[in-house]
Amino acid sequence: MARRVLPRALLVCPGRGSYNAAEIGTLGRLPKSSESVWRPLVDAADTRCGGAQLRSISSLDGEPKLSKALHFDPSHASSLIYTLAAAECAALRAEDRWEPIGIVGNSLGWYTAAHLAGCISFERGLDIVLATSSFQRSVGAVGGQIVYPTLDDEWKEGDGELRRRVEAALAAANAKGFASLSIDLGGMAVLAADDKGLAALKENLPAMSRSNVVYPLELPGHSAFHTPLMAPMADHVRALQAAEGPFDLPELPLVDGSGRVWRPGSDRQAAWMPQEMFDYTLGEQIIRPYHFGQSLEIALMEWDPDVIVLLGPGASLGGTIGQVLSRIGWRGVRSKADFTEAQRSDKPLLITSPTARKS
């Protein structure tokens, strides 16, 4: 009997901020039929978190409701997102829903992507995630992040006014402190700054509302990720990871936050790629802007997947992915309305997490 041909999937791994009220109880909604595959990952995470004097993933996800003080704690939030994305991927792959052909991640999601591609073990990836968050716990938030739209309501560039607002606000903020692009999501800009820069950004970005969200939107508990302000954190994590040695060659291709494609390698590439990926992940990736929108564009053009799979927890990147598709006109999507119509069809372009609780 011929083997069933599975849809070719581009996997997208979420970053910080994707675990919210609807994600409480995610583990209870993972398929029981594949529990033997995903449960060991959760158990390993519970053990490591316990060793770091943190609440376990199982207990955090088992809370009756979201607690900002508990679930948004840097160490809890990052370990939840990393673990649940890896567990969901293992569960869904075991059910043969699709065949992954490439991976991208957003910010923290790069560590998940590196694990899913076979570059690092699940445990090592979690150690890196915990090291970044423990640094933030020990020194407190370093500056912060603000989100601001760069596309209009229909996901069009228009006359470029929103981009000009961002550029002007960055210039004003750098006159008083430090500010920089942190993450380019494709239709939203995440800006990072020190305290003086944050105040200037909020003062200079005109207030606007989108889908009941008021911008500029400050992200609670976030530091100035992906900027030079995080160099001490990069040094801290690199020192902790040095004894573990280089990463492994990827088994699946992936695109990083600079737009570079990392492909499964040969013996010749084994001489340099593992160390180069280690250096990027624990160096450049931490202190330079993360171009998620660009990485997604490159992955789509490189592999032309049948479907995009946004792993849980949550689906907060769904609209962002739609904006990128609209910007490049992928599969005929050129506006918010086009994307909405495509998602309502019997073959949606984007599959989002099946584990998020419906509100």
Task: Express each pLDDT in 261-317 by its tens digit.
Answer: 999 977 677 778 899 999 999 999 999 999 999 999 999 999 999 999 999 897 889
- DSSP assignments along 111-158, one per residue: HHHHHHTTSS-HHHHHHHHHHHHHHHHHH---SEEEEEE-S-TTS--T
**Is it the case that residue 71 has pLDDT exceeding 70?**
yes
CA distance linking residue 122 with residue 128, whole number of Å: 10
- Cα 313 off chain centre by: 11
- Tokens 């209870």 belong to residue: 28
CA distance linking residue 311 with residue 320, whole number of Å: 14
Predicted pLDDT of residue 2: 55
- Cα 312 off chain centre by: 10
Q: Which H/E stretch holds residue 344?
A: helix 336-344
Per-residue confidence at 158, pLDDT binned at 50, 70, 90? confident
Q: Is the peptide bond before 274 cis (omega within 30 degrees of 0)?
A: no
Per-residue confidence at 51, pLDDT binned at 50, 70, 90? very high
CB 42 within 8 A of CB 27: yes
Between strands 217-218 and 144-149, the pairing is antiparallel
Q: Which residues of 16-55 are buried (b: 16+ CB within 10 A; e: fewer)?
A: bbbbbebbbebbebbeeebeebbbebbebbbebbeebebb
Per-residue confidence at 3, pLDDT binned at 50, 70, 90? low
Between strands 179-184 and 254-255, the pairing is unpaired
Per-residue confidence at 211, pLDDT binned at 50, 70, 90? confident
CB 195 within 8 A of CB 178: no
Is the Cα torsion angle 122, 297, 74, 181 positive or negative in sign? positive
Q: Stretch 72-84: mean pLDDT, rounded?
A: 95
**Is it the case that residue 200 has pLDDT exceeding 60?**
yes
What separation, in Å, do the N-terminal and C-terminal C-alpha atoms of the chain show?
Answer: 42
Predicted pLDDT of residue 357: 56
Strand partners, 351: 309
Average pLDDT, the chain: 94
Question: 1 Cβ partners below 8 Å, 6+ apart?
Answer: none
Closest CA to 188 of 3, 307, 15, 5: 15
- Tokens 């492909």 belong to residue: 263
Report which of residues 95 and 83 the model is more confident about. Answer: 83
Look at residue 178 and give its three-state secondary structure.
coil
Rounded to 5 degrees, what are φ and ψ at 230? -95, 10
Strand partners, 255: 104, 261
Report CA Rg, the chain: 20
Per-residue confidence at 359, pLDDT binned at 50, 70, 90? very low
What is the share, in percent, of the chain residues with pLDDT greater than 90? 87
Q: Stretch 49-59: mean pLDDT, rounded?
A: 96
Strands laid side by side in the 261-262 sheet: 261-262, 254-255, 99-105, 8-13, 307-310, 350-351
**Residue 164, both tokens:** 């000009």
**Is it the case that residue 144 has pLDDT exceeding 90?**
yes
Predicted pLDDT of residue 353: 79
**Residue 19, both tokens:** 């675990």
Closest CA to 108 of 16, 228, 240: 16
Per-residue confidence at 141, pLDDT binned at 50, 70, 90? confident
Angular region, 186: left φ>0, alpha ψ -120 to 50, beta rest: left
**Residue 150, both tokens:** 């760069």
Look at residue 309 and give its three-state secondary structure.
strand
**Is it the case that residue 1 has pLDDT exceeding 80?**
no
pLDDT in tens, 128-138: 999 999 998 88
